[in-house]
Amino acid sequence: MAQVLEFRLPDLGEGLTEAEIVRWLVRVGEVVAVDQPVVEVETAKARVEVPCPYAGVVTARFGEEGTELPVGAPLITVAVGAKAPRPVEAPEAGEAAGAAPPATEAPLSAATGGDGTSGNVLVGYGTAAAPARRRRVRRSLLGAGPAPVRPPEVALPSPARGEPEEPVRGEGPVPVISPLVRRLAREHGIDLMELAGSGPDGLILRADVEYAVRARGRRAPEDPAPAAGIPTPPPSRAADPASVERAASGGERPGATRVPLRGVRGAVADKLVRSRREIPEATVWVDADATELLRTRAAMNEAGGPPISLLALLARICVAGLARHPELNATVDQEAREIVRLDAVHLGFAAQTPRGLVVPVVKDAHAHTTQSLSEEVARLTESARSGGLGPAQLTGGTFTLNNYGVFGVDGSTPIINHPEAAMLGVGRIIPRPWVHEGELAVRQVVELTLTFDHRVCDGGTAGGFLRFVADCVERPAVLLRIL
């Protein structure tokens, strides 16, 4: 007998709590195999395809493209052991009533282990089905005469309808995932059983509770009816509580456009706010003559072989500087009140992409040569622009290099990439008057800026690091002493 299993948005790792649906890869009524990607989602780190651990017929999808779902929210339901429903069009001549299309007859891939469930366990989402149930699933998908799907037990929606029906509140548990939402409701005396969630499948969101708090505040204690002239419709899929509140208060400016602060932009915002809140940062800067660095790069590239990028040379200088000043390759454990100095240098570098600013990380940058650094930076940059980087390649940095000179600006005061302790900023390199060997000359000058966590070191250490970087930029031969 077919069973309907619900597949929820799994924990995608790296502390991510939500994801936005970018593109559905399956339709309602379509047959899916074990570990087949069913939806493409965008997290705060990257775009990923989410595979389903079940094999069967898709009976419902939750959320339109562009919808943001929290981890644990339903994605799809799958009728395991069912055949695909009949299409809306008339069947071909000779087709048996209720027969499944050929796709349902295909056996499971050998990679699944032959038990009808996924061998790949997603983070936070297991495939712990009972062995007996697994055997039944496998037999049904192999076309070994499963019992027909009974409508009272499995209601397969029409393929023409991709939207799940509105949830009906019963006596079961309240559809709340976030403990913050529960606490907010408890603090304001809101009964969650009385709310209609505006999230997928009736999920109660924080906005729903906040709306209920505001709506209750607008009502007189003795009169449960809404105040005159202030519409207070309950939150639903068609009415966003926040937008209803803005319309009721008249606070929306004419012609204003609201952009949801989510995905990459939302993650960047959260990280920058946390950095400014927790890190007592300070900034030092210096101008440097980069003429010799540019000549050195040109000479290296003329010698043949893969080209060396300027960013790779700067990255190699940073790694050498951190070897001399390891205090800056650190993080702060605020709870333990300890500075954690790190042995390995995982060098992040800022890259502008169509999705916004991301920071790919060159792992173990201290073990790379200048050539391999250049190749790795080029590879990560290309993957970042195409959206092919996963969370593991965008996290774990210990120091960040930010070349904002590509935007045509000279200087900046970078915000530290939390939980790192420092960031080096590089402005544009342009011809400027400069005193060189006692004479005024036109040289290629760059402004270097170091923002650092004042908890991990004092200005002397930060200044020493920045001066070393500037010396290497002005006289690249300095690097030969330590290579």
Active site residues: 454
Please give the Cα distance from 411 to 287 (Å, whole number): 10
**Count of C-beta atoms within a 10 Å radius of residue 88:** 9
Ranges of beta strands (E only) in 233-380 are 281-289, 330-333, 338-341, 347-349, 351-353, 356-358, 361-362
Query: For the CA atoms of 451, 453, 454, 457, what is the dihedral angle to 10 degrees?
Result: -100
- Quote the crossing angle between the two packed helices 291-302 and 459-474, to the nearest 10°: 50
Whole-number Å distance between alpha carbons of 141 and 133 = 12
Q: Give CA–CA dist 5/79, Å, rounded.
A: 6
Residue 281 structure tokens? 């940062």
Report the distance separating Cα 403 and Cα 411, nearest Å.
Answer: 10
123-162 as b/e: b if 16+ CB within 10 A: eebebebeeebbebbbebbeeeebeebeeeebebbebeee
User: Smallest Cα–Cα separation from 117: which of 12, 25, 36?
Assistant: 36
Rounded Cα–Cα distance for residues 165 and 46 (Å): 31
